Chain A
Amino acid sequence: MAQTPLEPGRGSTRGTPRWVKVFGIIALVLVMLFIISLLAGVRHGPALHTPSGDAGGSTRHSSVAAHGEQPS
Chain B
Amino acid sequence: MTMTPPLRKLVLTVHLTCSVGWIGAVIAYLALVIAAMTSQEARMLQAVWIAMEVIGWYVIVPLALAALLTGLVMALGTPWGLFRHYWVLISLVLTIFATVVLLVHMQTVSDVAGRAAATPGAAVGGLPGEFVHAGVGMLVLLVIQVLNMYKPRGTTPYGWRKQQERRTVSPAET
Size class of the B contact interface (CB-based, 8 Å): 35 or more
Is B160 a contact partner of A2 (Cβ separation < 8 A)?
no
Determine the chain A residues whose CB is within 8 A of the CB of B71 once the complex forms. 1-2
Taking the complex as formed, is B72 at the interface, i.e. its CB lies under 8 A from any CB of chain A? yes
Query: Chain B contact residues: over half helix, strand or loop, or mixed?
Result: helix
Which residues in chain B, 86-103, are within 8 Å of chain A measured between CB atoms? 86, 88, 90-92, 95
For the complex, what is the distance from the CA of A10 to the CA of B151, rounded to whole Å? 11
Which residues in chain B, 63-121, are within 8 Å of chain A measured between CB atoms? 71-72, 74-75, 78-81, 84-86, 88, 90-92, 95, 108, 111-112, 115-116, 119, 121
Determine the chain B residues whose CB is within 8 A of the CB of A6 once the complex forms. 151
Total contacts A to B, CB within 8 angstroms? 113
Which of A's residues lie within 8 Å of B, judged by CB?
Answer: 1-4, 6-14, 16-17, 19-20, 23, 44-46, 48-52, 57-61, 63-64, 68
Which residues in chain B, 102-146, are within 8 Å of chain A measured between CB atoms? 108, 111-112, 115-116, 119, 121-126, 128-129
For the complex, what is the distance from the CA of A59 to the CA of B45, rounded to whole Å? 12
Interface string of B13-52 (1 = CB under 8 A from A): 0011001000000000000000000000110010000000
Determine the chain A residues whose CB is within 8 A of the CB of B155 once the complex forms. 12-14
Determine the chain A residues whose CB is within 8 A of the CB of B90 once the complex forms. 20, 23
| Contact A50/B152 with A3-B74, A20-B86 known, Cβ cut-off 8 Å | no
Taking the complex as formed, is B154 at the interface, i.e. its CB lies under 8 A from any CB of chain A? yes
